């Protein structure tokens, strides 16, 4: 077992610091812990690279930005994982936040377990919607944001999509409606890792046009390094980027971030981590400063 930071010697996987104390939380360390947990979870199941690329986004949202002290708080900010195939990263973040018992992570993709390959509403606390049919999450999020507006609530709704996913026409139907309704409490995030199921995104739909497309649909846009916690936090804290308009953060990321052997590799979309690679991949993450 690894012992460099003492994270694996305690009875639980995660450190015991208070996740609700934003002044004390080291989000870089939390991201590293989550990725190491994902290495072990993904000895079964695919979409390892997809999960690894969004860890920093989730960590900054849940530990620095979103108002979500409890998944049952009616005033909480909402989060929708539209790219539902990366659910393992979300489950692990919810466990690190304290909403899900850490032991439940051991049931990932097991028969009779609670953690499916795509999120299921009410499957575990904190999952707001069943997702994974790509292109639907932004529309669910827009509906929740509109309900908040109509009810006079102050919460924000965050929806995380893949860069391949935004080739779906339903994404742009939702984008048009959200701008028309002036949903400035809606924040979309694009995990722009430039890889999708069968090719590089740039070979299918030029990724350099993302910003102009969103702007043309009436959204405020910010592009950031999706692994830079400072950039991510500043962007999220600046929303809405345009008064009275929804916001989108285009987060430039690396598929399978942190595992040098697999970073930016197409194969990580379908990879199950070989048992003999687990310790090696975890050491990569220990050294990834």
Residue 3: its pLDDT value, please?
31
- Dump pLDDT digits (tens) for 171-193: 999 999 999 999 999 999 999 97
Non-local CB neighbours of 23 within 8 Å, separated by 6+ positions: none
Judged against a pLDDT cut of 50, whether residue 280 lies above it is answered with: yes
Q: What angle do CA 48, 34, 61 make, to 5 degrees?
A: 100
Query: Can you give the pLDDT at residue 270?
Result: 63
For the stretch 94-118, pLDDT in tens is 999 999 888 888 888 677 777 776 7
Q: Which residues, listed in sequence order, are joined to residue 158 by a DSSP beta bridge?
A: 79, 187
Residue 12 lies in a domain: no
Give the helix/strand (H/E) hosting 160.
Answer: strand 157-162
Characterize the bridge pairing of strands 247-252 and 220-225.
parallel
Distance of alpha carbon 146 from alpha carbon 191, whole angstroms: 24
Q: Is the pLDDT of residue 67 over 80?
A: yes
The mean pLDDT of 48-67, rounded to a whole number, is 92
The pLDDT, as a whole number, for residue 201 is: 64
- Strand-pairing partners, residue 189, are 160, 249
Minimal CA–CA distance to 281: which of 4, 32, 29, 39? 39
96 in a domain, yes or no? Answer: yes
- Is residue 214 in a domain? yes
Which tops the pLDDT comparison, 42 or 34?
Answer: 34
Residue-number span of the structural domain to which 240 is assigned: 27-287
User: Residue 20 falls within a domain, yes or no?
Assistant: no
Which tops the pLDDT comparison, 176 or 83? 176
- The DSSP call for residue 225 is E
Q: What is the per-residue pLDDT for 259? A: 75
Task: Answer with the residue of higher pLDDT: 26 or 147.
Answer: 147
The per-residue pLDDT of the chain, averaged, comes to 83
Segment 114-125 shows an average pLDDT of 80
Domain count, the chain: 1
Lowest mean pLDDT among 60-74, 157-171, 220-234: 157-171
Where is mean pLDDT largest: 130-134, 234-238, 250-254? 234-238
Asked if residue 21 belongs to a domain, the reply is: no
Residue 144 has pLDDT above 80, yes or no: yes
Residue 72 has pLDDT above 70, yes or no: yes
Long-range Cβ pairs for the range 253-256 (8 Å, 24+) = 253/53, 253/54, 253/56, 253/57, 253/191, 253/192, 253/193, 253/226, 253/227, 254/53, 254/193, 254/227, 255/49, 255/50, 255/52, 255/53, 255/193, 255/194, 255/195, 256/48, 256/49, 256/52, 256/53
**Residue 60 DSSP SS3:** helix
Helix axes 278-287, 27-41, angle to 10 degrees: 170
Q: Mean pLDDT across the stretch 214-229? A: 96
Closest CA to 176 of 164, 160, 188: 188
Q: Locate 231 and state its tokens.
A: 């950039």
Among 127-141, 179-193, 224-238, whose mean pLDDT is lowest? 127-141
Could you tell me which residue, 266 or 248, shows the higher pLDDT? 248
Which stretch, 8-12, 201-205, 234-238, 272-276, has highest mean pLDDT?
A: 234-238
Six token digits for residue 87: 């659910």
- Structural domain contains residue 17: no
Burial 139-173 (b: 16+ CB within 10 A, else e): bbbbbbbbebeeeeeebbbbbbbbbbbbebebbbe
At residue 122, the 3 state secondary structure works out as coil
Q: How far apart are CA 236 and CA 247, in angstroms?
A: 9
> What is the percent of the chain with per-residue pLDDT over 90, rounded to a whole number?
50
- Residue-level pLDDT at 265: 64
CATH number at residue 79: 3.40.50.970
Rounded Cα–Cα distance for residues 44 and 63 (Å): 28
Asked whether the predicted pLDDT for residue 167 surpasses 90, the reply is: no
pTM of the predicted model as reported, rounded to 2 decimal places: 0.87
Instruction: Please report the pLDDT score of residue 198 as a whole number.
Output: 65
236 is a domain residue: yes
Whether residue 1 has pLDDT greater than 60 = no
**Is 55 within the bounds of a domain?**
yes
The band of 204, judged by pLDDT with boundaries at 50, 70 and 90, is low
């Amino acid at each position: 077992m690894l012992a460099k930071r003492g994270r694996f010697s305690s009875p639980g996987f995660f450190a015991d610091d208070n996740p609700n104390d934003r002044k004390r939380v080291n989000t870089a360390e939390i991201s590293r812990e989550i990725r190491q947990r994902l290495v072990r979870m993904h000895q079964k199941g695919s979409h390892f690279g997809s999960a690894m690329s969004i860890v920093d986004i989730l960590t900054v949202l849940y530990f620095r930005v979103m108002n979500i002290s409890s998944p049952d708080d009616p005033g909480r900010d909402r989060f929708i994982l539209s790219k539902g195939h990366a659910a393992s990263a979300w489950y692990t973040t919810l466990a690190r936040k304290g909403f899900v018992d850490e032991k439940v992570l051991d049931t990932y993709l097991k028969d009779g377990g609670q953690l499916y390959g795509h999120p299921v509403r009410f499957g575990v606390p904190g999952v707001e919607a069943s997702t994974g049919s790509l292109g639907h999450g932004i529309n669910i999020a827009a509906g929740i944001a509109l309900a908040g507006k109509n009810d006079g609530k102050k919460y924000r709704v965050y929806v995380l999509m893949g860069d391949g996913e935004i080739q779906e026409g339903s994404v742009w139907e939702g984008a048009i409606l959200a701008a028309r309704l002036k949903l400035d409490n809606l924040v979309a995030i694009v995990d722009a890792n430039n890889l999708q199921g069968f090719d590089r995104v740039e070979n299918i739909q030029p990724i350099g046009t993302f910003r102009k497309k969103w702007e043309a649909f009436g959204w405020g846009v910010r592009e950031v390094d999706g692994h830079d916690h400072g950039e991510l936090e500043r962007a999220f804290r600046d929303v809405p980027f345009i008064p009275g308009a929804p916001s989108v953060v285009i987060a430039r990321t690396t598929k399978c971030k942190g595992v040098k052997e697999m970073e930016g590799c197409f194969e990580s979309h379908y990879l199950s981590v070989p048992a003999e690679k687990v310790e090696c991949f975890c050491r990569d993450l220990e050294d990834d400063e």
